[in-house]
Amino acid sequence: MNNQKNIVMMLLVFFVIFAQQTVMADSKDITLIFAAYTVPKEAYQKEVIPSFQKYWKEKNGQTVKFEESYEASGAQSRAIAAGLEADIAALSLEKDINRLKDAGLITHDWKNNRYNGFVTNSLVVIAYRPGNPKNIKDWEDLTKKNVDVIYPSPKTSGGAMWAVNAIYGAGLKISEIKTGKKDYEYARQLLKSVQRRVKVMDKSGRLAVTTFENGIGDVLVTYEDEVLLRKKQGKEFPYLTPDATILIENPIALIDKNVEKHQTRKIAEAFIDFVHTKEAQRLFAQYGLRPVHEEVIKEFSEKYPVPKYLFDINYLGGWDKVEGDIYGKNGLWTKIIEELERK
């Protein structure tokens, strides 16, 4: 009997110690390594990350620290694939996340949620100088000989790929509306004519905006959220949204290999859940990013109207097709660059 009592007492002591250690482990500070593209930096740094830290501290008594990296989407994706141990990647486009999946860093189905893996949306828009001195009204106006265009390089920037996709897709959409079918040659010539007027191709969408703010170029092809952020900051930044433009869908995913190594899966999953809450989606919307949460979309419907001929990446065949047909070795944009360089 005494032996049984001793065993029971030992077990009780063990469970008390285990519970104390569990509480201590849960209350220790934890660090998440967060890698994102440059454009939503202000939204994450000033609003979303601090809100999550407050939420987690109140819920679990644990302090979450963030090590943050902001870089052009393609460059950021390649950096993670090369060894940057990010727990979470928030990038500009789906193919940059898929690069990490193909490298074996993401092993779960990152698109398996109600938002298909996306956290925010945006549009490709055209910013111009105050007073619109070059009378910019649509994509065709970017082909004028007296108009200098700014957008970044598709070799490093997700924003640039969205810009090129928007121009080429708009050519297809416009011709389809006029004739009832897509005119691929018209779309190619539109893209080539605009590319001919591109004066500077920076590394990232953010750098392209800086170039434009420094007085270079007549128009800037950029993210809608970049323009709205400048307006939020009180800057004069006129722009137009073409009737035919592309829906930008921005993905977010945890990196399985890295969260396992850092033992941060629980907190990484919690952060990804948090950025899809109504609270976080409203914060994104205040910084010019279109929400994906259905209720928040309705709340901000006046701020974010839907263009008449809006299309998405599937209109161009999806990212796998686009990457080869437009940006591959023999892709449309690649060949256009070669042709223009020869001239």
What are residue 176's DSSP bridge partners?
none
Tens digit of each residue's pLDDT (9 = 90 or more) over 175-204 = 999 999 999 999 999 999 999 999 999 998
Rounded to 5, what percent of the chain is helix, strand, coil? 50, 15, 35
- Total residues belonging to the chain: 343
Tens digit of each residue's pLDDT (9 = 90 or more) over 144-167 = 999 999 999 998 888 899 999 999
Phi, psi dihedrals of residue 287, rounded to the nearest 5° = -105, 20
> How many other C-beta atoms are found inside a 10 Å radius of the C-beta of residue 150?
24
Question: pTM for the complete prediction?
Answer: 0.88
How confident is the model at residue 18, as a pLDDT? 36
Distance, in Å, from the CA atom of 90 to the CA atom of 76, rounded to the nearest integer, reads 10
Which of the residues in the chain have pLDDT under 50? Answer: 1-26
Instruction: Show contacts of 186-192: CB within 8 Å, 24+ apart.
Output: 188/332, 188/336, 190/139, 190/140, 190/143, 191/164, 191/167, 191/332, 191/333, 191/336, 192/336, 192/339, 192/340
Distance, in Å, from the CA atom of 310 to the CA atom of 329, rounded to the nearest integer, reads 28
How confident is the model at residue 157, as a pLDDT? 87
